[in-house]
Structure 1
Amino acid sequence: MTFTFTVLIYMGEMWKGGPDTVGTLHKLTIKAEPGSVVTCRSAVTIWCEGTMNAEICVLHKEESQKTWGTQTPEMPENKAKFSIPSVTQEHGGQYHCYCYSSAGWSERSDTLEIVVTGIYYKKPHLTALPSPVISPGGNITLKCISWVGYDKLILTKEDQKFLSSMNSQYIHSIRQYQAYFFIASMTQDHIGTFQCYGYYNDTPQLWSVPSDHLKIYISGLSKKPSLLTHQGHILDPGKSLTLQCCSDINYDRFLLYKVGEDNLTEHGNQQTKTGFSLSNFTLDSVSSSTGGQYRCYGAYNLSSEWSASSDPLDILIAGQLPFSPSLSMKPNSTVHSGDNVTLLCQSTNKVDTFILSKEGAAQQPQQLKSKFQVWDFQAEFSMSAVTTALSGTYRCYGSWDSSLYLLTQASDPVELTVSGEVTLHDYKTLHSTAPHLENQDHTLENLIRMGMAVMILIVIGILIFEGWWSQRQDKKSTSHRVPEHGK
C-alpha cells in the first residue's frame, strides 16, 4: 500500500514537471500489434518492454493531462501489455511509456504514433503509371486521387516499410485532388501491396478509409508466354470470352493484365500431356468495358519475379458506335492467284481508324488510319499477289481515337474468291509470309525441273520407239516379197 501511494505521488510530480524529470535508466521499447495504423473499431495492443525487475509501467499520450494506463510487467519478458479493444478517434496520437523499479524511473521510450483509419468515408483511388508490372531497375509512379479536399495524401505499404506523405494538389480540369509518389530503380523490396489515404493537417493521426489495394509486380527476363483467344479478336456484347496464357516452360502461376487498369488476375497452371503449362482466364459476359489490350506473365511458386510479358492481344467490341461502314473490292471479288486486290472501307460518318477482319483468321485484324476524301472517310487495304489462302469472308469496322477498342457495327460481308491452281508464284508468296515454308518454293522448282526432264525423256522415248517400230515393219514387208522375185 505504501509503494502504490509513493508511485502515484511520484507520477503526479512527473506529469507536473514533464518528461524531463524522468530518470535515465535503460530506454524502453514500445510497439503496437498488429501495427500502428489501426482501423477504427478494431483492437490494438501496445507493448512496453525493457527494464529488468520493473514494478510498474505507465503509458502516456502526448497532449493528455492524464496517464492512459498503468500495468505490472509480465515476467520473465519484462513486458507490460496495454490493450485497447475498440479504437476510436480519441486514440489517435503519439505515445511514450515509462517503467519504475527499485533503481528508479526508466528513460522514456521512443515515440509510438497510433493512426486511426476509416474516420473519413470518402476513399481515394490509387493507380500505377505506366503499369503495376515493372521490369527490375525500372521507375514507377503511384498516383493517389481524391474527390474531396484532403490536405495531404499518404502512401503506405502492407508491411509498413514504406510510408510517404505528399500535399494534395487540386486539378481544375478534372476537379480532383491528387499526389504523385515516384519510386526509382525498382527492386524486390518494392514488391507488395500499396494503399493510400487522405487526412487533414490539424488531425494528422486521423485518416480516411483506404483506397483499394494495388499490388506491384516485377517482371523478369525469363521466356515470355503466349496469350491466345479462341473466340476471335472482335466480339459482340453478351458473348463469352476466354483468354488462354500458355508456355512450353512449366510455370506454376500465370497473371493476366489489362493495360491501363490496376486489377490483375492470378491463376494457377494446368499441365497438358504435351508438356505445355497453361491457364484459362474466363471473363464475364462481354461488354464495352471488356475492350482493351491484354498481356500475360508466368512465374514459379518460389519466385516473386514474373516472366517477360507476352505479346499484346487486342480485344475489340463491335456495335458500340451506331453506324456501319461499307466494304467493296477492286477490281472485283473473284480474282486469280497472283492478282492484286484492294479492299475499300468507306463511311459517311466520322471514323478515325478502319479495321479489316477476315472470318476465322487467327491473326489480329488489320488497322489503317482513315482519310477524308470529298464525301466520306475511307481506307484502302491492299493485297498484292494473292493466294488461295486469302479466300474468305471479310468485314470492316470503324473506331474513334477516343475509344480505340469500341467499334462500329460491322459492314455487310464480302466474299473474296481466289481461283486457279496453286502455282510457283503462290508458293513464293506464302514463303514471304510464312518463314516455316522457306524451302518449299525451292522444292517445287526442283520438282518442276524433274517433271519437265521426265516429259522430255518420255517424248524422246516415244520418237525412238516409233522409228524402231517403223523400221521393223519395213523389214517385214521386204521379207514377204522375196519369193516373188524368185519366180
Structure 2
Amino acid sequence: MAKFLIPFTESSHAGHYLCLYHKPPSWSEESDTLELVVTVLQTGLYQAKFSLRNVTFVYGGTYKCYSSEDLFPYVLSQPSNPVELVVSEFSANLDSSPQELIPASVGKYDGGKYYCYYETTLGWSAHSDELELVVTGIFDNKPCLSVLPRPVVTSGENVTLKCFSQEEYDRFIVTKEGEQTDPMIMESQKTSAGQFQALFSLGPVTPRSSGTFKCYGYYKANPYVWSEPSDHLEIQVSASENQDHTVENLIRLGIAGLVLIILGVLLLEAWQARNGPTVRLGSNQKRKKNVVQGPRV
C-alpha cells in the first residue's frame, strides 16, 4: 500500500482520482474512481429554490447547501448553516393494528393529499393510494342553497340547484348526503345584484334523485379548504302520473289476458262434453242370392 499526501488542498485538486501499480513487465488494472470535492468560500446574492412536494416524515432531517461554478463542478463553496426540518403533524398509536395516525389538531394548512409508507428491514415500501383531506368551516361566510322550481317535484322534471353568497368565492361545490361519488363543482359567476353564484343542473330527475343537499365555497389558491356548509336542502321526487297509469294499464292487460285464457279452456271443455266422442259403427248386410228358376210344367 502507498499513500499520496496533499499537504494543502486547493481548488485545482478537485476532480476524479484513480491509481494503479506497475509490476514488470506490465501495469495493473485501474482502481475504482475516487471523487474529491474541494469547498471554498464564495460570496454573492445568487440563490436557488428546491421544492419538496407532499412532504412526509421521511423528509425530516438536517439540510445544508453548497454552490459551484460550471467550469469547476467539483469545487464547492463552504456549506451553509444547517437547517433542521421536523415533520411531526401526526402521532402514531403503536398499540393498534393497523397503525392509526391521529392529527393533534386540524387547521387550514392541513388540507391536501396524503399517503403513507411503512419500513421493513429491506427499506421503505411504496407509498399508499392518495387520500384527499378537506378542511371545512374555515370561512365564516357560508353560502346559501336553493332549488328551482321547487323542493317537491315529480319524476321527469328539470331541477336546478343554486348556490350563492356575498363572499367572492372562486368556486362552489354541491354534495349529496350518503353519496360516495365526486361532488359537483362549478365556477362562481357574479350577478347584477352583486352576489356570486353557481347553477347546478340535475336534469330530468327520477325518484332516485331525492335526497339532502348542501353546498360550500372555496378559493382556487387552496381547493382543500372550504367554507362553512350551507343549510341542508331536501328534495323529494315522486313518480309521475304517466308512470302510475302505465303500471296500472299493464296490470289490467295482464288480468284481461288471464281471463281470456280461462274462458277459452272452459269453452273447449263444454264443447267436448256436448258432442261426445265420435264412433263409426259398421252394419251387417245380407247378400241376396240370385236363383234361376226353370219353366213350370
TM-score w.r.t. length of structure 1 = 0.36
Partner residue, 1:327: 145
Runs of 4+ aligned residues of structure 1 deviating over 6 Å after TM superposition are 57-60, 110-115, 192-195, 263-268, 297-301, 450-453, 465-471
Quote the Cα distance in structure 2 between the aligned partners of 1:457 and 1:200. 92
Are positions 1:318 and 2:136 aligned together?
A: yes
Relative to structure 1, the CA distance from residue 401 to residue 209 in structure 2 (aligned partners, 3 Å threshold; closer, same or farther) is same
Deviations 1:432-463 (A, max 9, x none): xxxxxxxxxxxxxxxx9x97885343131355
Q: Is the 8 A contact 2:92 2:102 kept in 1?
A: no
Are positions 1:210 and 2:82 aligned together?
A: yes
Q: List gaps (5 residues or longer) in structure 1.
A: 1-49, 52-56, 64-93, 95-109, 116-149, 153-166, 170-176, 182-191, 215-260, 272-277, 425-447, 472-487
Partner residue, 1:417: 236
Are positions 1:405 and 2:224 aligned together?
A: yes
Deviations 1:257-306 (A, max 9, x none): xxxx9x999999x99xxxxxx76544333221221233567999757673
Using the TM superposition, give the Cα deviation of residue 196 of structure 1 relative to its aligned residue in structure 2, in angstroms: 4.2
Relative to structure 1, the CA distance from residue 178 to residue 459 in structure 2 (aligned partners, 3 Å threshold; closer, same or farther) is same
Aligned match for 1:288, one of 89, 108, 115 = 108
Are positions 1:62 and 2:8 aligned together?
A: yes
Are positions 1:395 and 2:195 aligned together?
A: no
Quote the Cα distance in structure 1 between the aligned partners of 2:200 and 2:117. 33
Partner residue, 1:373: 191
The equivalences for 1:332-371 within 5 A come to 332-371=150-189
SS of alignment partner, residue 223 of structure 2:
strand
Quote the Cα distance in structure 1 between the aligned partners of 2:60 and 2:141. 44
Structure of greater Rg:
2
Quote the Cα distance in structure 2 between the aligned partners of 1:367 and 1:290. 21
Quote the Cα distance in structure 2 between the aligned partners of 1:398 and 1:111. 56
Deviations 1:412-446 (A, max 9, x none): 1111122239x99xxxxxxxxxxxxxxxxxxxxxx
Quote the Cα distance in structure 1 between the aligned partners of 2:251 and 2:119. 54
Quote the Cα distance in structure 2 between the aligned partners of 1:111 and 1:350. 58
SS of alignment partner, residue 461 of structure 1:
helix
Q: Is the 8 A contact 1:151 1:199 kept in 2?
A: no
User: For this pair of structures, how many residues does the alignment match?
Assistant: 229
Q: Which has the higher strand share?
A: 1
Partner residue, 2:22: none
Quote the Cα distance in structure 1 between the aligned partners of 2:172 and 2:186. 5
Quote the Cα distance in structure 1 between the aligned partners of 2:147 and 2:50. 52
2:260 is matched by which residue type in structure 1?
I
Q: Is the 8 A contact 1:151 1:168 kept in 2?
A: no
Deviates more, 1:407-416 or 1:356-365: 356-365
1:369 is matched by which residue type in structure 2?
E
Partner residue, 1:197: 64
Aligned match for 2:257, one of 457, 474, 477 = 457
TM-score w.r.t. length of structure 2 = 0.56
Quote the Cα distance in structure 1 between the aligned partners of 2:230 and 2:165. 10
Higher relative contact order (CA 8 A, sep 6+): 2
Quote the Cα distance in structure 2 between the aligned partners of 1:338 and 1:284. 48
Quote the Cα distance in structure 1 between the aligned partners of 2:139 and 2:101. 27
Using the TM superposition, give the Cα deviation of residue 389 of structure 1 relative to its aligned residue in structure 2, in angstroms: 3.2
The equivalences for 1:214-253 within 5 A come to none
Q: Is the 8 A contact 2:205 2:237 kept in 1?
A: yes
Aligned match for 1:384, one of 193, 200, 203 = 203
Using the TM superposition, give the Cα deviation of residue 338 of structure 1 relative to its aligned residue in structure 2, in angstroms: 3.4
Using the TM superposition, give the Cα deviation of residue 368 of structure 1 relative to its aligned residue in structure 2, in angstroms: 0.8
Quote the Cα distance in structure 2 between the aligned partners of 1:111 and 1:339. 75
Q: Is the 8 A contact 2:91 2:102 kept in 1?
A: no
- Seq. identity, %: 26
Quote the Cα distance in structure 1 between the aligned partners of 2:267 and 2:158. 49
SS of alignment partner, residue 106 of structure 2:
coil
